[in-house]
């Protein structure tokens, strides 16, 4: 490791300390804002904080980009250190703490969070804890595999702790494009008109006086486990690609295609993988996360440019990325989530959004966050930033969960995250429903017919028909006294079927 290359700012060389020493700066009641968006979160410092305070049970507010590793969410949750948690998580122990009431979780649109921090709506950030590749001559911070909310945490925090991760290659430098908008009434248009536009600087600006500690670490991110593409994902991908091709033929999508966004997980990865077969060789992605399939597309020379806020690769993907870093770097721009998820840019570029739903109802409302109406799964993440502003907004889900005991198409979703006004296309392994320009009753027919699993089709139609019998052909036929009967049955028996 070349120390000089990792800390280039002389003024802060005396701030190098152990993770334990840095952890002692954190005090009860503080709000900490950390880097991390699946990848790129600090690890050594959080573990040291958890260790130091495990018997004292202090309370901290934990703000991140999105998902952070077990070193942060898991360790903090297990030690009971968290009061407020914003904005997204997937850790088992953190999720339990949220659903037993010990952690207050605020489930926010990812693009809303940084501006609400600057506006002062979420309190003061005491410490930003940021994983870095290096610190520049002026004290600016070069992030690692994600950007997330780090620019705003750094610009608003009282003090900054930098965790330099020497397991990250120095070549990451130059991949990031950091731009923080001014606040109203001084905000200017965000000057991105093409996915490839760089509008900022390749580091997170940081006043070196703010840096309270620099800690060296070489801990690796926990990588995502991508299962090989299964039959369900493949069918969903096939329906979707066929749909998009037809849209081009019908002249409703430009022949050159439009930038794609695709969410986290296997289905999303499978859909992108499907593009390998196609003839496009100038694909652009304007996305939040960048998964393995993107490397395949780059290798197959299909990609013009990929913009996101995080590289979220599998173990195997990561190896490929490191082995050919300069080639991939040329194609990739990592931006703050305020920019990757920005409504202004998403609508301007005409992004086609593909996200995963927990459940969808017959009128096209989508639940992305709650299991059976009450328990938090992960959070809304950026799904609504993209969905509301997409050129075409798509939700994909298998038609059932838990060995067909749960239908993901239901009479009424038990929590609404995306309304009927926002959802254009629903696709399952059964088929695709194009809801554009359809009234609710037309949507119901199409979703039941095209997307529902055969085990649930008749029951859905029965609900719909009895709703009309009771209320007439109103705008949105529903039986309010049994809208959630399937969910309550499932709560009692583990099965939505009678």
Return d(Cα 376, Cα 208) in angstroms, integer.
39
**SS3 state of residue 256:** coil
Q: Nearest distance from residue 112's CB to its own copies, in Å?
A: 8
Cβ pair 338, 377 in contact under 8 A = no
| Partner in contact with 98, chosen from its own copies, ligand COA, none, beta carbon below 5 to 8 Å by kind | its own copies
Measured from the CB atom, is 57 or 347 closer to its own copies? 347
Contact between 109 and its own copies per CB under 8 A: yes
Choose which of 246, 439, 462, 493 interacts with its own copies (CB under 8 A).
439
Residue 130 CB, nearest approach to ligand COA (Å): 22
* Binding status of residue 2 toward its own copies by CB under 8 A: no
465 touches its own copies by CB under 8 A: no
CA separation for the pair 291, 306 (Å, rounded)? 11
Query: Scanning residues 194 to 213, which ones bind its own copies (CB under 8 A)?
Result: 194
Looking at the Cβ atoms of 143 and 381, the one nearer to ligand COA is 381
Closer to its own copies by CB, 98 or 408: give it: 98
498 binds its own copies (CB under 8 A): no
Residue 395 CB, nearest distance to ligand COA (Å)?
9
- Please give the Cα distance from 226 to 223 (Å, whole number): 9
Shortest Å distance, C-beta 103 to its own copies: 8
Pair 418, 383: CB distance under 8 Å: yes
**Which candidate, 13, 57, 50, 214, places its Cα nearest to that of 129?**
214
CA 62/CA 205 separation, integer angstroms: 22
CB nearer to ligand COA: pick between 221 and 359: 359
> Can residue 420 be called a binding residue for its own copies (CB under 8 A)?
yes
Among 184, 228, 279, 498, binds its own copies (CB under 8 A): 184
Instruction: Provide the token pair at 292.
Output: 């393995």
Give the C-alpha distances (Å, rounded to integers) separating 255 from 131, 294, 303, 346: 41, 21, 15, 19
Contact set with ligand COA (CB under 6 A): 263-265, 267, 288, 355-359, 368, 371, 377-378, 380-383, 386, 398, 401-402, 406, 408
Dihedral (Cα; 474, 476, 482, 484), 10-degree rounding: 180
Q: Give the distance from CA 488 to its chain's centroid.
A: 29
Among 46-54, 96-104, 129-137, 307-315, the segment contacting its own copies (CB under 8 A)? 96-104
100 is a contact residue toward its own copies (CB under 8 A): yes
# of chain residues touching its own copies (CB under 8 A):
87
What is d(CA 124, CA 306) in angstroms, rounded to the nearest whole number? 33
286 forms part of the interface with its own copies (CB under 8 A): no
Among ligand COA, its own copies, none, partner that 319 touches (CB below 5 to 8 angstroms by kind): none
Q: Does 116 bind its own copies (CB under 8 A)?
A: yes
Is 365 one of the binding residues for its own copies (CB under 8 A)? Answer: yes
Q: In what order do the strands lie in the sheet with 127-132?
A: 104-105, 82-86, 60-63, 31-34, 127-132, 159-165, 211-217
CB of 380 to ligand COA, least distance (A): 6
CA torsion angle 136 188 423 282 (round to 10)? -60
- Residue of 54, 159, 320, 471 interacting with its own copies (CB under 8 A): 471
């Amino acid at each position: 490791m070349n120390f000089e290359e990792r800390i280039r700012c002389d003024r802060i060389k005396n701030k190098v300390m152990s993770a334990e020493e840095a952890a002692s700066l954190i005090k009860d009641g503080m709000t900490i804002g950390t880097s991390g968006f699946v990848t790129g979160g600090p690890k050594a410092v959080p573990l040291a904080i958890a260790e130091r305070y495990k018997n004292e049970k202090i309370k901290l507010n934990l703000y991140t980009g999105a998902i952070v590793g077990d070193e942060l969410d898991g360790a903090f949750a297990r030690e009971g250190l968290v009061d407020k948690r914003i904005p997204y998580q997937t850790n088992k122990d953190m999720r339990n703490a949220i659903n037993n009431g010990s952690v207050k979780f605020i489930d926010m649109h990812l693009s809303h969070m940084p501006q609400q921090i600057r506006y002062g709506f979420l309190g003061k950030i005491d410490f930003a804890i940021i994983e870095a590749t290096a610190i520049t001559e002026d004290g600016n911070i070069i992030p690692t595999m994600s950007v997330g909310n780090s620019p705003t945490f750094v610009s608003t925090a009282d003090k900054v702790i930098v965790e330099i991760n020497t397991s990250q290659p120095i070549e990451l430098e130059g991949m990031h494009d950091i731009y923080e908008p001014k606040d109203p009434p001084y905000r200017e248009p965000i000057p991105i008109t093409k996915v490839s536009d760089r509008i900022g600087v390749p580091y997170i600006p940081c006043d070196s006086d703010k840096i309270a500690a620099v800690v060296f670490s070489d801990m690796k991110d926990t990588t995502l486990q991508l299962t090989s593409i299964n039959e369900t994902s493949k069918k969903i991908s096939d329906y979707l690609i066929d749909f998009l091709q037809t849209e081009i033929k019908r002249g409703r999508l430009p022949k050159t295609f439009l930038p794609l966004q695709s969410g986290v997980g296997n289905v999303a990865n499978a859909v992108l993988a499907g593009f390998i077969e196609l003839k496009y060789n100038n694909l652009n992605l304007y996305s939040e996360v960048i998964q393995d399939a993107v490397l395949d597309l780059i290798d197959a020379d299909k990609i013009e440019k990929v913009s996101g806020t995080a590289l979220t690769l599998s173990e195997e993907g990561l190896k490929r990325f490191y082995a050919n870093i300069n080639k991939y770097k040329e194609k990739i721009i990592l931006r703050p989530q305020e920019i990757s998820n920005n409504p202004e840019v998403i609508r301007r570029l005409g992004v086609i959004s593909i996200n995963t739903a927990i459940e969808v109802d017959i009128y096209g409302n989508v639940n992305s966050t709650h299991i059976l109406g009450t328990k938090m799964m992960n959070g809304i993440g950026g799904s609504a930033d993209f969905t509301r502003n997409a050129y075409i907004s798509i939700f994909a889900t298998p038609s059932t969960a838990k060995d067909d005991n749960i239908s993901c198409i239901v009479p009424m979703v038990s929590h609404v995250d995306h309304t009927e006004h926002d959802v254009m296309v629903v696709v399952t392994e059964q088929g695709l429903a194009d809801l554009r320009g359809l009234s609710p009753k037309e949507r119901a027919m199409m979703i039941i017919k095209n997307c529902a699993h055969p085990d649930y089709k008749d029951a859905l139609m029965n609900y719909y028909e009895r709703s009309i019998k009771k209320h007439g052909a109103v705008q949105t036929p529903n039986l309010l006294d049994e809208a959630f009967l399937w969910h309550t049955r499932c709560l009692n028996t583990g099965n939505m079927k009678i």
